[in-house]
Structure 1
Amino acid sequence: MERGNEDGIALDLAVKLNRHGNLKIASSDQNLKDILLHINSSKSPAVINYGASWCRVCSQILPAFYQLSNNFRKLCFVYADIDECPETTRHIRYTPTFHFYRDGERVDEMFGAGEERLQDRLWLHS
């Protein structure tokens, strides 16, 4: 599937807003598998945002997700587009879905958007 213009804008935004380098963008199934392996082996806290370029709610929360990555420097932030990583994300039923990891294990999930809700969860898991 081709990347749309919106994805390119979102990726550009990620680069500009992620000043501390703790945000990764999964570009393929293999890339997401590698990121998950790193999360599991490093046991560092992480949050994965599963979204889609066609999802209006995902597009609305994405800038806040990128900005929050600067406020929670100890967390690894990951964005995975379900269309770019179809095999690895086949278990995702709603977008956006956020998975929170601690000590290599998934410990929480959040469905839907809401910047305040997301910030509260990030604070809880950081």
Structure 2
Amino acid sequence: MGNCVAKSQSQTKDDDSVQHVEFASGNVQLITTKESWNQTLEQARGDRKIVIANFSARWCSPCKIIAPYYCELSEKYPSIMFLVIDVDELTDFSTSWDIKATPTFFFLRDGQEIDKLVGANKPELEKKIAAVNLVPRYQ
């Protein structure tokens, strides 16, 4: 994982010559350890930010398709913290979140789930992001 595919590059969903799409770029942070997860959530709490945690896998076609869009949304909504977690790299951690399918997006405030989306549904993802973005910040 690393950067999203550059917007100038074109890639079809059937392109097997590329091993995987990069999932983290723009304002998306890659979480590689439970410690980095805890630190990032603590930072979000201090910054009073909503967190969106995207549980994905490199081999997952829907994850590959939505990854560049997720990165674009992270730039469109800078007041929200966007994270990506590879379920294969953090298997035990992902299991603790009861991930049944990828991608799964959790919307968190103070580390607590306020919404969830399973699947690579672009319109629904943006709808949910826009909705949490409108929620008044902390008092």
With structure 2 as the length reference, what TM-score do the two structures score?
0.72
Equivalent residue, structure 2, for 1:112: 119
Question: Which residue of structure 2 aligns with residue 52 of structure 1?
Answer: 57
- Structure with more of its chain in helix, by fraction: 1
Q: 2:103 aligns with which of 83, 96, 111?
A: 96
C-alpha distance after superposition, 1:18-64 (max 9, x if no partner): 1xxx3211123332333234345554211011010011111111110
* SS of match in other structure, 2:79: coil
One of 95, 112, 129 as aligned partner of 1:122: 129
Gap regions ≥5 residues in structure 1: none
Q: Evaluate the alpha carbon distance shift between residue 83 and residue 29 of structure 1 in structure 2; reply closer, same or farther with a 3 A threshold.
A: farther
RCO (CA 8 Å, sep 6+): is it higher in 1 or 2?
Answer: 1
Cα pair 1:48 1:77 within 8 Å, conserved: yes
- Say whether the 8 Å CA contact 1:46–1:102 is kept in structure 2: yes
Specify every segment of 5 or more residues in structure 2 that has no aligned partner in the other structure, as ranges. Answer: 1-17, 134-139
Tell me the matched-pair count: 114
Aligned partners of 1:52 and 1:95 also within 8 Å: yes
Asked whether 1:81 is paired with 2:86, we answer yes
Larger Rg: 2
- The percent identity for this pair of structures is 25
SS in structure 1 at match of 2:68? helix
TM-score (norm 1): 0.79
Q: Is the contact made by 2:51 and 2:109 (CA closer than 8 Å) also made in structure 1?
A: yes
